Structure 1
């Protein structure tokens, strides 16, 4: 990624987000210069296991919630069941409660303040906001990495995670975080095509990881450098007047609809779509043939829906199929229309 003026971008980012000086290194990150995109830093699973124990991997789990206490409890219960491979595995968990009113909001605050991880598995930090700041700010202000080994996963409260989510996410990052075309990793299943005519469509890809243009918003783990670069770019704009329009994508229309409804501040995805399109970035997905998932969505009533179906979109993965240990060096890439990009 080429920045127009690194000094100006860095200054804007520091002023807006109050980051530490170490984060500025991520602004100009464009690979580690030791591996090509279609290479991986290990040759067999034994070496990958060694990497898991020797490589720096700091993971912050950020939960976004406001007034859905039952959903929050269900998500936290699923995190309690996380499978950890090593005794030293730990999480830094933050529960961000956006400001609201009423008993449901009060219940979420109480849950956030009183929740703890299983003994020895990390720390919990509740962040209770005094003002409502909307979903876009909740995402964009949730996390600022300080190094390439800092990682996060951002999870809205109507999701639920599989016990195997942590081990697969860590292995994925240790395998692919050197890639210069990676915007992030989604725990969710890829299920839709946003290029018009938009439709529900799942890329099968033999049940192994692949790259798709669209960000996965359900259980998304941003690449630390690309996240810093996205936020820096976003904070350099007038977000009320700039139109992140990408021709031919239904997501562009959705932002226009939200703008007319006075809900522009409630959507963040189109900014990511525009930035990924501009910088030629992709999100990593895993669509298992069993249709089981590492994170599912209960689609509770909230910003994006007025009703709740009272059931998740896909069943959670409970066992460990062989595909969870398959990380091809050469990842297949799919464009906005879900057609493979042949290079």
Structure 2
């Protein structure tokens, strides 16, 4: 059978090559005969690949693909697909589904968004008859064929309960490409996707972020937290919820977590049978399965912003999955151990006590407004923790606590830190680790301390009276971000590169990574005898105790002379004799001590596997960090009264004055 190919009446082969290429492309695109042939094909042809080569030479190799079914999906994705700086292919389902390519093209031209968008209307290639499932399979088949030609780095579609969403997801798995399905309402909160490098975008599904909730017997607080999390935007990701209940959790709490519906992933419940206290509850609540496993750790008196997951996902993709420009930046990124959801109003580690804190007082003269920063201080009021650092902390804390209950050979301290008073707080030991490793955590810095989590300072184990809570809550409660202004407030409307982030130490002073590392290196020699190692996430070099003080070896007693005693009545001779066994034992002890002194001391880290275990008595260990907070409520009440007694004075002036007093 002979098929005569349609010709284009205006095709002139006597023109120059560039003109010929342009005319061939126009003929391929607009000629009705070619359109008919393309509609009959189900796999790419040589001419398809030729057109791909022409487009790649013109626009570059990096492309993205959007699949739009109807005007609602086009309206949802329009703000995002117009932000990219490279070629975007858009496949529309045609006029039969409510959106033709010509209408979308006209819209793009009117808004100046057509210079990098290439439209493909496939409505005439799909049979109008049949159910939604049949139509979806045909649509997915066409998308598969075209994606093999375009080779997009990522394919976007609207995630919904529809066969097309499932078909596109299956297509991506079979073709081993990245398909990103966003709910229509979530797209507007993911515009920062266009700022990510393509290698980070290709890792969209790699991070596995879990919600870890610790609760005891505050069902009302727990309900507030869970409801705030349920209303959040999860960008179409599957997010597991793990709830850990203390042994003393009441029946209302257990019933509530059992009946609470969680639509965004799996719900996993754990209940202790022996009282553990806050430290085991936090530390044992999560252990990373792999290096792409993350946890948002939340206590039950926390509530979260609907945008908390957006902030966490954006930060993780930006600083964990974006290629570093230099080897130095790559090494520095390993120092980040988490992302805080909370913007602190206070500094808690000054020896004199808690001090008010405003990041503008530190950063404003050196960095643009609203610049996020990294700080060494770990956040316990809503934060994402990274797997390598949390695994290292697990091992470090295990050995530290075992040593404290046994030989107490380790002498790990942080100089001039108030955390040294906290003997039973998990943050004390995390602060030790971050100080000796020069680790840092990312903190938000939005207007008026706007945050993605806040603490309600609930009455309970540490805050005994509601009066103290109400008087001091203004010093800890921060506003939650309800309206998405993340990009609007960030400098240059995007997260800065890691090397541009300000660095603060444990006491809120501006430092550099090199200064933190130098301080850690110098202090390491004071707490451990092993040489310092970095970048391995292995705490063994921190756990080499110094030898105990040398005990002087007593000189062996001299053998006494025989003493002859003469008595007037009757001569009696007394002789002092020594037991031979006792002499041998003394000689053996002397030889052992001499052998220890002569042997060259080789420092060895403590091995927790060979240390004896103490039985758990089930006692409830109080968290000294919270006890410190309880003891300072009077100071916070005083600050509250000062603010309301001086209405004409700005709060920032009062905070600045307190900071200057602390510096003195």
| TM > 0.5 | yes
CA distance in 2 between counterparts of 1:69 and 1:52 reads 39
Specify whether residues 98 and 244 from structure 1 end up closer, same or farther in structure 2 by C-alpha distance, changes over 3 A only. Answer: farther
Q: Does 1:139 align with 2:282?
A: yes
Do the aligned residues in 1 keep the contact of 2:375 with 2:443 (CA within 8 Å)? yes
User: Structure 1 pair 52/136, CA: closer, same or farther in 2 (3 Å)?
Assistant: farther
Q: Given that residues 228 and 304 in structure 2 are in contact (C-alpha distance below 8 angstroms), is that contact kept between their aligned partners in structure 1?
A: yes
RCO (CA 8 Å, sep 6+): is it higher in 1 or 2?
1
| Residues 39-83 of structure 1, C-alpha deviations (whole Å, 9 max, x = no match) | xxxxx8415286456430111100000100000000011011101
**2:463 aligned partner:** 305
Task: Tell me what 2:246 maps to.
Answer: 98
Q: How many Å separate the matches in 2 of 1:151 and 1:244?
A: 28
Following the alignment from structure 1 to structure 2, what is the Cα–Cα distance between the partners of residues 331 and 304? 35
1:341 aligns with 2:502: no
- Answer yes or no: is 1:191 the counterpart of 2:345: yes
Q: Using the alignment, how far apart are the partners of 2:283 and 2:271 within structure 1?
A: 16
1:245 to 413, 417, 421: 413
- Rounded to whole Å, the distance in 2 between the matches of 1:46 and 1:114 is 39
Structure number with greater Rg is 2
Give me the whole-angstrom Cα distance separating, in 1, the residues matched to 2:382 and 2:412: 23
Question: How far has the Cα of 1:244 moved from its partner?
Answer: 4.7
Higher percent of residues as strand:
1
Matches within 5 A, 1:162-173: 162-173=305-316
**Partners of 2:430 and 2:279 in 1: CA distance:** 11
Q: Distance in 1 between matches of 2:280 and 2:257?
A: 19
| Shift in Å, 1:302 | 2.5
Q: Which residue of 2 aligns with 1:319?
A: 483
* Corresponding position: 1:83 with 2:233: yes
1:209 & 1:302 partners in 2: Cα distance?
33
Q: Does residue 200 of structure 1 match 2:349?
A: no
1:244 and 1:271 in contact (8 A); partners too: no
Report the secondary structure of 1:95's partner residue.
Answer: strand
Instruction: Find the aligned partners of 2:489 and 2:411 in 1 and give their Cα distance.
Output: 40
Task: Identify the residue that residue 21 of structure 1 maps to in structure 2.
Answer: none
Shift of 1:186: 1.1
Q: CA offset at residue 231 of structure 1?
A: 0.8
Match of 2:496 among 328, 331, 335: 328
1:283 corresponds to 2:441 = yes
Partners of 1:246 and 1:307 in 2: CA distance: 33
Equivalent position SS for 1:284: strand
Alpha carbons of structure 1 residues 307 and 284: separation in structure 2 relative to 1, 3 Å: farther
> Please, what is the CA RMSD of the aligned residues?
2.2
Pairwise CA distance, 1:202: 2.4
Please give the residue correspondences for 1:1-343 in structure 2 after superposition, counting only pairs within 5 Å.
45-48=193-196, 51=200, 54-55=203-204, 56-85=206-235, 87=236, 89-100=237-248, 105-118=250-263, 121-177=264-320, 179-193=333-347, 194-198=349-353, 199-204=355-360, 205=363, 206-237=369-400, 238=402, 239-240=404-405, 241=408, 244-253=412-421, 255-256=422-423, 264=424, 267-308=425-466, 309=469, 313-321=477-485, 322-323=488-489, 326-329=494-497, 330-342=500-512
Aligned match of 1:12: none
Aligned length: 283
Greater helix content: 2
CA distance in 2, matches of 1:339, 1:249: 13
Name the stretch that deviates more: 106-115 or 242-251. Answer: 242-251
Greater CA deviation, 230-239 or 154-163? Answer: 230-239
Distance in 1 between residues matched to 2:462 and 2:372, nearest whole Å: 28
Q: What is the TM-score normalised by the length of structure 1?
A: 0.77
Conservation of the 8 A alpha-carbon contact between 1:183 and 1:283: yes
8 Å CA contact 1:244–1:270 kept in 2: the answer is no
Q: 1:339 to 1:59 in 2, by over 3 A?
A: same
Q: Secondary structure at the match of 1:221?
A: strand
Task: Name the CA distance, whole Å, in 2 between partners of 1:243 and 1:268.
Answer: 17
Residue matched to 2:109? none
CA distance in 1, matches of 2:386, 2:489: 22
8 Å CA contact 2:345–2:449 kept in 1: the answer is no
Would the aligned equivalents of 1:61 and 1:93 in 2 still touch at CA under 8 Å?
yes
